[in-house]
C-alpha cells in the first residue's frame, strides 16, 4: 500500500505533467482555437454526454441514490442547455467590442478583445458531481481555454465516468481529469493556473483563494450559506408549498441554493404548514424510503445532520414532520421553535431539514438576514409587489427568486454567483464566458494631439496643459 508521501508525490507528478502539457499549447490555442474550433469542442462534449447518459445515471444512482428523473432534470439538462446557449452566442461574445473615444483619447480608436485566460483548474463538489464539473467546462472551452478538472472523491462512480468521458472526447492538451482527494487538490493548487473555478464550502473556498494568491491566479468561487425564504401574508400558499418542497428536498436538500430555513408570516402559518405537509407527502410518500428522494451522500454527512437535529431537539426545538434517519436515508423533516443557541440556527444545513420560523414584523426578518453573512440565494413568496421590492432593497444575496426556488440557476441569461462568503465572481452563459476570459484593452493612435504636451515643459506646453485641464477637468 502506498504511503501518504508516495501518494502526494504521485499526484504532484501527475498534476505537473498535465499542467505542463496544457501550458505548452497556450500560444497555439490563442491563435488557432477560434469560433469554429470552440463550437466543435462543445459539440464533442454534448455528444459525449448523450452517448454516456445511461452510464451517468447509473453512476449518480450508485453514488447517492439520486432518482433518474432528478439526474436528467438537475444534472444533464442544465449542461446541455449551457452548451446550446454558448454555441449559439459564441460568435457575438467573441466579437471585438468597440469603445467610443473620450475627450482625453481624441484621435484614437479603441476596442476590447476577449481572450482566453490560458490553463484553468475546475474543482467540483460532490452534491451535483456532474453538472458542477462540466458546466464550468462549457464556459472554459467557449472562452478558448484548456482545463484540468478535479471531480469530487466523495462521488467515485461519477468521478470515474467523467474521467473516461473526457479522455474519449478530448486530447489531454485541451481537457484532462485528475481524480483523487485532498492530496490531488493540494498538488493542483500549487501550480500557477491562469484561472481557478471552485465550487464548494466557504471554508474550503478560503483555502483555494489563499493558494491562488501565491501565484496571483484569478478565481471564481461558488460557495454557499444559509439561504433564507420568506412567505409573506399575501402569498399563494399552495404555490409556495410546492416550490419550497421542491427546492428544499430535491437532492435530499444537498443543494447550495436550497431554502435553508423559512420565515412564515403568523397569519398564514397554519395554512402554509398544512399545504407543505400535504405537498411533501404527495411528493415523497412516507419519506426516507421514497424512490424519488436521494440519499445523504455518506455516513459522515448523515451523522452531521443527525447531530444538528439532536442538538436542536435537546435545546427545545420540536419536529412536526419526519425526523427519521436510517442508513444515509433521511426523511423530509420540518422543525419549529428554533432559537439562536442551536447549531442549526447558524450552520448551513445542506440536508432535508427545514426550520420553520414564524414572524410578525418583516423588518425584524430582514434585520436577522442582514446580521448574517450574505446568502447565495434569497426567496420571497408574496403577491404584494411593494413588499417584495422592499425585501429585495433591504437585503443582499447572490440571487433572488420570487415565487419560485432554484430555477434562477438554470437561466443561462442570468449571472449565477454569490457575495463575499457565498461566492466571488459569476458563472453561466455570458457571465461564465467572461469569467474565463481576459478583457484586453486595445488602443490605436491615429492623430492624437497628446505629443503637443510631452516634455520639455516649456511655458507654451504648460499653457496647453492648463487648457487641457480646463477642458477635461
For the CA atoms of 156, 157, 158, 159, the dihedral, rounded to the nearest 10 degrees, stands at: 40
Q: Which DSSP string corresponds to 75-104?
A: IIHHHHHHHHHHHHHHHHHHS-EEE---ST
Residue listed under C-alpha cell 483523487: 180
For the CA atoms of 337, 339, 344, 346, the dihedral, rounded to the nearest 10 degrees, stands at: 150
Residues 6+ apart with CB under 8 A from 273: 264, 320, 334, 356
The number of CA neighbours under 13 Å toward the Cβ of 125 is 20
Which stretches of 275-408 are assigned E, i.e. beta strand?
Answer: 318-321, 325-326, 329-330, 333-336, 353-359, 377-381, 399-402
The residue annotated as part of the active site, out of 75, 256, 328, 336, is: 256
Q: Clarify whether 37 is annotated catalytic.
A: no
The residue annotated as part of the active site, out of 75, 222, 336, 348, is: 222
Name residue 122's beta-bridge partners: 149, 197
The number of CA neighbours under 13 Å toward the Cβ of 470 is 6
The answer to whether the beta carbons of residues 128 and 258 sit under 8 Å apart is no
User: Dmax of the chain from CA atoms?
Assistant: 89
**Nearest C-alpha neighbor of 424 from the set 213, 137, 183:** 213
Q: Clarify whether 115 is annotated catalytic.
A: no
Cell of 228: 433564507
249 phi and psi, to 5 degrees? -105, -5
Catalytic residues: 222, 256
Amino acid at each position: 500500500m502506498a504511503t501518504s508521501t508516495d501518494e502526494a508525490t504521485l499526484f504532484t507528478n501527475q498534476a505537473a505533467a498535465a499542467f505542463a502539457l496544457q501550458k505548452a499549447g497556450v500560444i497555439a490555442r490563442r491563435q488557432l482555437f477560434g469560433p469554429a474550433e470552440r463550437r466543435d469542442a462543445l459539440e464533442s462534449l454534448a455528444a459525449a454526454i448523450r452517448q454516456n447518459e445511461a452510464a451517468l445515471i447509473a453512476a449518480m444512482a450508485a453514488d447517492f441514490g439520486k432518482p433518474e428523473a432528478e439526474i436528467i432534470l438537475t444534472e444533464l439538462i442544465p449542461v446541455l442547455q449551457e452548451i446550446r446557449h454558448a454555441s449559439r452566442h459564441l460568435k457575438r461574445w467573441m466579437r471585438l467590442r468597440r469603445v467610443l473615444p473620450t475627450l482625453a483619447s481624441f484621435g484614437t480608436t479603441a476596442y476590447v478583445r476577449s481572450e482566453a485566460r490560458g490553463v484553468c483548474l475546475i474543482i467540483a463538489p460532490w452534491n451535483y458531481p456532474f453538472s458542477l464539473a462540466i458546466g464550468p467546462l462549457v464556459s472554459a472551452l467557449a472562452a478558448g481555454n484548456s482545463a484540468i478538472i478535479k471531480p469530487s472523491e466523495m462521488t467515485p462512480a461519477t468521478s470515474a465516468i467523467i474521467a473516461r468521458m473526457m479522455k474519449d472526447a478530448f486530447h489531454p492538451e485541451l481537457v484532462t481529469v485528475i481524480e483523487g482527494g485532498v492530496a490531488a487538490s493540494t498538488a493542483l493548487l500549487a501550480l500557477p493556473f491562469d484561472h481557478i473555478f471552485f465550487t464548494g464550502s466557504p471554508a474550503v473556498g478560503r483555502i483555494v483563494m489563499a493558494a491562488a494568491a501565491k501565484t496571483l491566479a484569478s478565481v471564481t468561487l461558488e460557495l454557499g450559506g444559509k439561504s433564507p425564504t420568506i412567505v409573506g401574508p399575501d402569498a399563494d400558499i399552495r404555490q409556495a408549498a410546492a416550490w419550497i418542497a421542491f427546492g428544499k428536498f430535491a437532492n435530499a436538500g444537498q443543494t447550495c441554493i436550497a431554502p435553508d430555513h423559512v420565515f412564515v408570516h403568523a397569519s398564514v402559518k397554519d395554512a402554509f404548514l398544512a399545504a407543505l405537509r400535504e405537498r411533501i407527502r404527495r411528493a415523497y410518500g412516507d419519506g426516507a424510503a421514497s424512490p424519488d428522494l436521494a440519499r445523504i451522500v455518506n455516513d459522515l454527512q448523515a451523522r452531521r445532520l443527525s447531530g444538528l437535529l439532536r442538538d436542536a431537539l435537546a435545546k427545545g426545538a420540536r419536529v412536526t414532520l419526519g425526523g427519521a434517519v436510517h442508513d444515509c436515508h433521511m426523511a423530509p423533516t420540518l422543525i419549529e421553535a428554533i432559537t439562536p443557541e442551536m447549531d442549526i440556527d447558524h450552520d448551513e444545513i445542506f440536508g432535508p431539514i427545514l426550520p420553520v420560523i414564524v414572524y410578525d414584523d418583516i423588518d425584524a426578518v430582514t434585520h436577522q438576514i442582514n446580521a448574517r453573512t450574505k446568502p447565495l440565494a434569497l426567496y420571497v413568496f408574496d403577491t404584494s409587489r411593494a413588499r417584495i421590492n422592499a425585501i429585495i432593497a433591504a437585503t443582499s444575496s447572490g440571487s433572488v427568486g420570487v415565487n419560485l426556488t432554484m430555477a434562477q440557476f438554470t437561466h443561462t441569461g442570468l449571472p449565477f454567483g454569490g457575495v463575499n462568503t457565498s461566492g466571488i465572481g459569476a458563472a453561466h452563459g455570458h457571465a461564465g464566458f467572461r469569467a474565463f476570459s481576459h478583457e484586453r484593452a486595445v488602443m490605436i493612435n491615429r492623430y492624437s494631439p497628446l505629443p503637443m504636451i510631452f516634455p520639455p515643459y516649456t511655458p507654451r506646453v504648460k499653457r496647453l496643459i492648463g487648457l487641457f485641464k480646463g477642458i477635461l477637468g
